[in-house]
A and B are shown apart, each in its own frame.
Chain A
């Protein structure tokens, strides 16, 4: 009885879905790293368009990610505001130029350099977030563990991560069940009560939830041990998808983008593209 719009893999058959999980993970990590380091606006815009295009290709249903997107957008805006609040002249330092657009109160002036800097940060968000969503929503959880293992993470940790993902829906179900039991005993959890009350009362639900989960972990780890999990240094994967030619093509493309990004460090004489000089 789990709801249709849960967080996680949505089965489909797009180009993106057909890529191996490892390819998607490597591409996500490599592109995120170069996007985080580079401040070449032209490059960042290119990557952003590319990743938004991939996002379009992946056809992730809107209802599954709606709440997540709102949350991420709110968080991004908050983050951009915080940067301005703490370092209103950071762009001026970076670009060694000061073009005042409007005088504000005290040190809070508005400069073209600061705006440009924050624009770069915003573009970074819009480049990496679609990639993260693509990875999470188009990678079969069965393949998730083998992908992590493939890029060098120990299989014990890889398996633990994928098991944790598997139990999220179960834990959600338990949470609702426990909450109903508490409500029946008179715990007001609806909007009729204050936010602080709702939070402290949620804590009453967390305790049984944790005990339940610990119990579950014990059973699962016994079951795994009895079937020899952890006996050998390696293990094989039933769902592992070997690299196909499209994976190699995709990785070549990613390497190309990363190389362009690094070449631009050389051209710009550093990480920053500076239009103010």
Chain B
């Protein structure tokens, strides 16, 4: 790639670009200047709100066509000036895969979705069918052509979206946060796919992401780092990882790199850093890492303080036919003060379990006891006094316009007197850090703040157990850390038992002491997170991916990978961030 760079004209040029949305008071991009050459794979990385999505929109013409604003400088894509081109013309140069895998699925079936752009170009039916067939075979989705979107996994949807772009023979592929809605296994698969198609077909590929370690699997040539609207680095992955840029702007470094640094290795001496598989460690260096890990004292697991939630031999199915059980023979018990992660593929039964615990649906057989009370005799409302359920999408829970009213709703419904409601609501708002906003409309809040409103509106009911569905989905490292620190505070200071449905491997490792792994309606494992990460079968069943930490752990001369992971996590928790 490096050699081509001198000989070919850049395919994308940002010439001292400044941009400000009409709807915003400040500039989103400040003096952004870079070139992209044909055939390069570029990763644009930065925290939320840094301006990285704005750059993507400048490339595909959504700026200024869909999102108007003031642009200074010039953006040129494949010889076209973006600011004066229509979004339709640009779509022949740049194929965009949006971050919302469900939302961008336009066709009723896979075949129609792949064909969508061809239909709009008035391509004849026979030619259209041939192209759809060819590309679906290349991306190995030809057996899915007649399926509907809701029958696909996240990774399959991503393949369909990518095929729908590739059918047009477009030179530039732009992916806006392709990992945002995928589980780790699908994320790794998508990155491998991007790597192989962009190398095979000589595409110019732009990936916009905030998850660095996973994105590096796509074998990127260059990383552009954006922070506060400025381009702060334009360099190779190796050079970037040797610098301090990432820690300054709050993007998480790869875990293996953390481990190497903790162990006192000089990372600047490595010729290649990036994807862990490409990093060569000598035996002496591995011994050094192992010695460091051995020096960390293993913490004792605190004893449980009595069961707060007991699930006994639960069976459940949505249909009356006996064959298809959504959950079968599930038993476990949760101790007071536990912080538990629940993992598994979509459809493995995680959400159903949460619904059973909350009483939204009733088990076909078996018992659930909360605080030694059988839930079968309680109404949804009564269970809600013990268990709070926070949905993934805060917009599904919010029904009032003002923050105070929203948080008070549960108590108003229960007929509490007004002065007591006020006291409780203020307290919940203080815990959630929303007290200063108590008289604000909800629409003025950020997504993360809205999530806190939903948590506050459950906290007023004073439940002992909180179930959170994907509490950190789609959040960057800074927001993730903030949210998890808050949840941990609830766990420690307010003595709440926390259950989290998640795909986030960092969350499992860093914040939970137990993991329940579900697969096809069965509870496959109930163990420590580090045991899950060092067991390839569990990783596969739960659609997780091998972490670089596990890969590193496997290389160590005598310490088992599981031990290494748990020692690393313990050390990592105590390092000030």
Q: Are A and B bound to each other?
A: yes
Q: Which residue of A lies closest to B129 (CB)?
A: A238
Q: Which residue of A lies closest to B414 (CB)?
A: A186
- Are B104 and A219 touching (Cβ within 8 A)? yes
Q: Interface size class for chain B?
A: 35 or more
Query: How many angstroms between the C-alpha atoms of A227 and B389 in the bound complex?
Result: 38
- Are A215 and B384 touching (Cβ within 8 A)? no
Query: How many angstroms between the C-alpha atoms of A187 and B384 in the bound complex?
Result: 11
Residue B123 interfacial (CB < 8 Å): yes
Residue A63 interfacial (CB < 8 Å): no
Number of interface residues of A (CB under 8 A): 51
Query: How many angstroms between the C-alpha atoms of A235 and B91 in the bound complex?
Result: 17
Query: How many angstroms between the C-alpha atoms of A21 and B249 in the bound complex?
Result: 56
Known A-B contacts A212-B395, A215-B395; the reply to A228 vs B98 at CB < 8 A is: no
Query: How many angstroms between the C-alpha atoms of A105 and B297 in the bound complex?
Result: 97
- Are A185 and B128 touching (Cβ within 8 A)? no
Which of B100, B112, B123, B319 is the one whose CB lies under 8 Å from A239? Answer: B112
Instruction: Tell me which residues from 148 to 186 in chain B have a Cβ below 8 Å from any Cβ of chain A.
Output: 150, 164-165
Contact with A along B90-111 (1 / 0, CB 8 A): 0110001010100111111101
Known A-B contacts A4-B319, A185-B457, A208-B399; the reply to A227 vs B120 at CB < 8 A is: yes
Q: Using Cβ atoms and an 8 Å threshold, which residues of chain B touch A238?
A: 107, 111-112, 115, 118-119, 125, 128-129, 132
Residue B440 interfacial (CB < 8 Å): no
Q: Using Cβ atoms and an 8 Å threshold, which residues of chain B touch A162?
A: 108
At the interface, is chain A mostly helix, strand, loop or mixed? helix
Residue B122 interfacial (CB < 8 Å): yes
Residue A204 interfacial (CB < 8 Å): yes
Q: Which residue of B lies closest to A159 (CB)?
A: B106
- Are B96 and A181 touching (Cβ within 8 A)? no
Query: How many angstroms between the C-alpha atoms of A206 and B216 in the bound complex?
Result: 43
- Are B380 and A235 touching (Cβ within 8 A)? no
Would you give the shortest CB distance from A190 to chain B, in whole angstroms? 8
Contact with B along A163-194 (1 / 0, CB 8 A): 10010011000100110111111111000000
- Are A232 and B121 touching (Cβ within 8 A)? yes
Which of A1, A226, A234 is the one whose CB lies under 8 Å from B318? Answer: A1
Choose among B60, B120, B122, B360 the residue with the greatest number of A CB atoms under 10 Å from its CB.
Answer: B120
Residue A231 interfacial (CB < 8 Å): yes
- Are A227 and B106 touching (Cβ within 8 A)? yes
- Are A223 and B104 touching (Cβ within 8 A)? yes
Would you give the shortest CB distance from B500 to chain A, in whole angstroms? 17
Q: Using Cβ atoms and an 8 Å threshold, which residues of chain A touch B150?
A: 2, 169-170
Residue pairs across A and B with Cβ atoms less than 8 A apart, 17 shown, are A170-B150, A180-B380, A181-B389, A184-B389, A185-B384, A185-B409, A185-B413, A186-B381, A219-B103, A226-B62, A226-B87, A234-B122, A236-B118, A237-B125, A238-B115, A238-B132, A240-B125
